[in-house]
């Protein structure tokens, strides 16, 4: 277990972006350098190596991390990512963003994130189970329902959460449903959790459109990513009357002037594993998706896709960040001089962690809410956070990202100051 200070060789990437956003919020709030330094670093970082016995008997070893950025407002919370792009700095950035996200939507958590540098598509289910259980056993000393609560992220899902819960429970000797969220409903998962991030993205997109006088009927959208976030967001936007003209995944992209039949595309993906080959739409260059002339662009895949290289070509009226960190700070600066509205990640994709919180509450009380209750409370929290951000941005002349970050950082600092610095 190591705790390190910020890197000296800042070279661009999500951690630099996250730290620059924090620095801007600190400058706006007029907070001391000491508090700034404390918030720029993770409270706790664990780097592990995860050996896996492969199905053929050979052994492969993967780097794994769990980073806990802050605990001032409660236990650390955040997803677990399986992707070859995972490294310590990415996980640090994602953990910091979780602290701000939880504070912004006012759930009583700090921020955390985990990752294993593995390509899940190259592994059998049995291998993924073994790697998940071994990773869990490595990070076991620092997770728990009152300490740090993992959830799904890129490359992981409710099955992964079931394995983590089981491994943790076996180790402590009794079932602990509150150690993870995003579990299968039959194991204490919350109704509405699997669609929660998408529902929040669509809800905030519709509020953003309304604020710009854009009616859903007749509006157009492009969605990057067709996984846990993009797929549901595309479906809900289409159900609201929006023509979803373009959708991409890691393998390719499809486009239709009249709007893609999202349910049919979902069936195609379930059958073929990718949007590629979907016959009811045309082939699109995936790189062209972010610069399409649409009302709403939803980057819902990975970080760093709207960059200094393509930001000037963005034609969308509104960007709703379904992914964490899809817009680099360089792109942000370019877009700041345009009319493009950016609904930042820590607001736009907070639906997932909001319902994770509801799941944790239900698990701790061994009581299940109805899906309607979950969805209503989710929309209520998203709506409140949206208005908080819009109002704060208006009063202080900030972008929505600056306002959201400042509000969140202020709440974390408030909690820190009320508790005081130990010892
Ligand atoms: N991985 C999701 C996120 O980035 C959800 C985290 C959670 O529910 O804890 O917000």
Q: What is the location of CATH 3.40.50.10860 in the chain? A: 13-177
User: How many angstroms does the Cα of residue 301 sit away from the middle of ligand 1?
Assistant: 13
Q: What is the mean pLDDT of residues 354-361?
A: 98
- State the pLDDT at residue 231: 98
Q: Average pLDDT, whole number, for the chain?
A: 96
User: How many angstroms does the Cα of residue 330 sit away from the middle of ligand 1?
Assistant: 25
pLDDT band at 4 (very low <50, low <70, confident <90, very high): very low
CA distance 105 to 45: 25
CA distance 208 to 230: 17
CA distance 150 to 142: 11
- State the pLDDT at residue 9: 34
- State the pLDDT at residue 8: 34
Closest C-alpha to 92, from 74, 76, 75, 109: 76
Residue 249: φ, ψ to 5°: -140, -170
- State the pLDDT at residue 172: 98
User: How many angstroms does the Cα of residue 152 sit away from the middle of ligand 1?
Assistant: 7
Q: What is the location of CATH 3.40.50.720 in the chain? A: 196-343
pLDDT over 60 (residue 11)? no
pLDDT band at 51 (very low <50, low <70, confident <90, very high): very high
What contacts 180, CB < 8 A, 6 or more positions away?
149, 150, 151, 161, 164, 165, 168
Atom of ligand 1 nearest to the CA of 349: 10
- State the pLDDT at residue 5: 37
Which of 109, 156, 194, 197, when mutated, tests ligand 1's pocket best, judged by the most ligand atoms within 8 Å of its CB?
197
Atom of ligand 1 nearest to the CA of 80: 1
pLDDT over 50 (residue 141)? yes
Atom of ligand 1 nearest to the CA of 181: 8
Residue 66: φ, ψ to 5°: -140, 125
Whose alpha carbon is nearest atom 8 of ligand 1?
353
Closest C-alpha to 154, from 117, 203, 189: 117
CA distance 343 to 399: 9
Q: What is the pLDDT of residues 77-125, one digit of tens each?
A: 999 999 999 999 999 999 999 999 999 999 999 999 999 999 999 999 9
Which of 69, 90, 95, 151, when mutated, tests ligand 1's pocket best, judged by the most ligand atoms within 8 Å of its CB?
151
Q: Are 151 and 161 in contact (CB under 8 A)?
A: yes
- State what percent of residues in the chain have pLDDT above 90: 96
3-state secondary structure of 299: strand
User: How many angstroms does the Cα of residue 296 sit away from the middle of ligand 1?
Assistant: 23
Long-range contacts of residues 167-172, Cβ cutoff 8 Å, at least 24 apart:
167/132, 167/133, 167/136, 167/137, 167/140, 168/136, 168/140, 168/143, 168/144, 171/137, 171/140
CA angle 166, 139, 7 (to 5 degrees): 150
- State the pLDDT at residue 17: 97
Q: What is the mean pLDDT of residues 400-421?
A: 98
- State the pLDDT at residue 102: 98
Which of 76, 78, 189, when mutated, tests ligand 1's pocket best, judged by the most ligand atoms within 8 Å of its CB?
78
pLDDT over 80 (residue 220)? yes
CA distance 20 to 1: 26
User: How many angstroms does the Cα of residue 98 sit away from the middle of ligand 1?
Assistant: 7
Query: Of the CATH numbers 3.40.50.300, 3.30.930.10, 3.40.50.1240, 3.40.50.10860, which one belongs to the domain with range 13-177?
Result: 3.40.50.10860
* Cβ < 6 A, ligand 1 pocket: 77-79, 151, 153, 181, 324, 349, 352-353, 356
pLDDT band at 328 (very low <50, low <70, confident <90, very high): very high
- State the pLDDT at residue 10: 38
User: How many angstroms does the Cα of residue 79 sit away from the middle of ligand 1?
Assistant: 5
- State the pLDDT at residue 3: 33
Question: Active-site residue 315, yes or no?
Answer: no
pLDDT band at 33 (very low <50, low <70, confident <90, very high): very high
- State what percent of residues in the chain have pLDDT above 70: 97
pLDDT over 50 (residue 70)? yes
Gap between the terminal Cα atoms of the chain: 21
Q: What is the mean pLDDT of residues 330-342?
A: 97
Q: Are 159 and 80 in contact (CB under 8 A)?
A: no
User: How many angstroms does the Cα of residue 42 sit away from the middle of ligand 1?
Assistant: 17
Q: Which among 77, 101, 113, 381 is annotated as catalytic? A: 113
Sign of CA dihedral 372, 200, 273, 263: positive
Atom of ligand 1 nearest to the CA of 182: 8
List, in sequence order, the alpha helices (H) in 14-121: 14-29, 33-40, 88-104
Which of 79, 80, 201, when mutated, tests ligand 1's pocket best, judged by the most ligand atoms within 8 Å of its CB?
79
pLDDT band at 12 (very low <50, low <70, confident <90, very high): confident
- State the pLDDT at residue 322: 98
- State the pLDDT at residue 330: 97
Quick one: which H or E segment has residue 401?
Answer: helix 400-419
Atom of ligand 1 nearest to the CA of 79: 1
User: How many angstroms does the Cα of residue 95 sit away from the middle of ligand 1?
Assistant: 10
Whose alpha carbon is nearest atom 4 of ligand 1?
79
- State the pLDDT at residue 6: 37
Q: What is the pLDDT of residues 385-396, one digit of tens each?
A: 999 999 999 999
CA distance 357 to 66: 19
Atom of ligand 1 nearest to the CA of 150: 9
- State the pLDDT at residue 1: 33
Query: Of the CATH numbers 3.40.50.1010, 2.40.50.140, 1.10.1200.10, 3.40.50.720, which one belongs to the domain with range 196-343?
Result: 3.40.50.720
């Amino acid at each position: 277990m190591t705790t390190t200070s910020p890197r000296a060789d800042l070279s661009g990437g999500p951690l630099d972006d996250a730290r620059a956003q924090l620095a801007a919020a600190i400058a706006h709030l007029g907070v001391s350098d000491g508090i700034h330094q404390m918030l720029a670093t993770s409270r706790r970082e664990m780097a592990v190596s995860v050996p896996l016995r492969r199905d053929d008997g050979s052994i492969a070893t993967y780097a794994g991390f769990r980073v806990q950025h802050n605990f001032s407002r409660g236990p650390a919370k955040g997803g677990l990512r399986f992707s070859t792009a995972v490294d310590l700095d990415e996980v640090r950035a994602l953990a910091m963003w979780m602290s701000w996200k939880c504070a912004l939507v006012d759930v009583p958590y700090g921020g955390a994130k985990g990752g294993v540098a593995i390509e899940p598509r190259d592994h059998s289910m049995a291998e993924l189970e073994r790697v998940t259980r071994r990773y869990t056993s490595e990070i076991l000393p620092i997770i728990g329902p009152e300490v740090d609560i993992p959830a799904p992220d890129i490359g992981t899902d409710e099955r992964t959460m079931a394995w983590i819960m089981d491994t943790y429970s076996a180790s402590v000797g009794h079932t602990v449903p509150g150690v993870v969220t995003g579990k299968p409903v039959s194991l204490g998962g919350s109704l509405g959790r699997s669609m929660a991030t998408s529902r929040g993205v669509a809800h905030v997109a519709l509020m953003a459109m309304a604020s710009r006088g854009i009616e859903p009927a007749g509006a157009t959208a492009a969605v990057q990513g067709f996984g846990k976030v993009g797929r549901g967001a595309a479906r809900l936007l289409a159900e609201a009357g929006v023509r979803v003209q373009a959708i991409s995944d890691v393998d390719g992209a499809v486009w239709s002037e009249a709007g893609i039949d999202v349910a049919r595309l979902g069936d195609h993906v379930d059958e073929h594993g990718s949007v590629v080959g979907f016959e009811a739409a045309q082939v699109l260059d995936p790189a062209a998706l972010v610069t399409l002339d649409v009302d709403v662009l939803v980057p819902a895949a990975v970080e760093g896709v709207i960059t200094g290289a393509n930001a000037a070509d963005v034609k969308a009226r509104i960007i709703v960040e379904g992914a964490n960190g899809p817009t680099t700070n360089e792109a942000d600066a370019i877009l700041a001089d345009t009319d493009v509205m950016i609904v930042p990640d820590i607001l736009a994709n907070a639906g997932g962690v909001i319902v994770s919180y509801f799941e944790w509450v239900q698990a701790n009380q061994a009581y299940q809410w109805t899906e309607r209750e979950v969805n209503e409370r989710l929309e209520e929290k998203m709506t409140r956070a949206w208005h908080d951000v819009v109002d704060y941005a208006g009063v202080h002349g900030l972008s929505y990202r600056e306002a959201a970050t400042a509000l969140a950082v202020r709440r974390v600092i408030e909690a820190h100051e009320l508790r005081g610095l130990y010892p």
